[in-house]
Amino acid sequence: MQYPTILETVFRKFSEGAEEMTLNQYMKFSKECGFMDRKFTKSDVTTIFGQSSSQENKTLNFGRFKDNLDHFANKKHLDKNDIVKKIEAYGKGMYFKSACMIEEAYSLNSLSSGSRASLPTMSDVSIKSVNDF
């Protein structure tokens, strides 16, 4: 079984599981991952999205999304690896929050049922890192 990379997991989160990401989803990705600021605005995100999106339906598939990170890095004056690391940090935090929510729900459920089976830990789950650019 091949596990998705953290980068692909983040892409899938913002594309809502679809094969392609829209401009609105890309905008949300840019905000939530902490890339947008006073110097990097919605206009910049729209321009970068347009540089890599397919012309017929104005969307990014995962391959174009990865290629698009070069434009992102250039505009932010960062190395592409720095962009990927920031996205991966977001993705790891996303997993951690989900795991905490599952643990909390499980704990509440086990309190009401009176039993407690073992819950998977973070070490039981495998998510690959992206370093193959």
- What CATH number belongs to 6-115? 1.10.238.10
- pLDDT value, residue 6: 86
pLDDT digits (tens, 9 = 90+) for 31-60: 998 999 998 999 999 999 988 887 777 899
Q: Where are the domains of the chain?
A: 6-115
Residue 3 confidence (pLDDT): 65
Question: What pTM value is reported for the model?
Answer: 0.68
Q: What is the mean pLDDT of the chain?
A: 77
Q: What is the DSSP string of the chain?
A: -PPPBHHHHHHHHHTTT-SEE-HHHHHHHHHHTT--SSSS-HHHHHHHHHHHS-TTT--EEHHHHHHHHHHHHHHHT--HHHHHHHHHHHHHHHHHHHHHHHHHHHHHHHHHHS-------GGGS--B-----
pLDDT lower than 70: segments of the chain: 1-3, 94-133
Quote the pLDDT of residue 121: 52
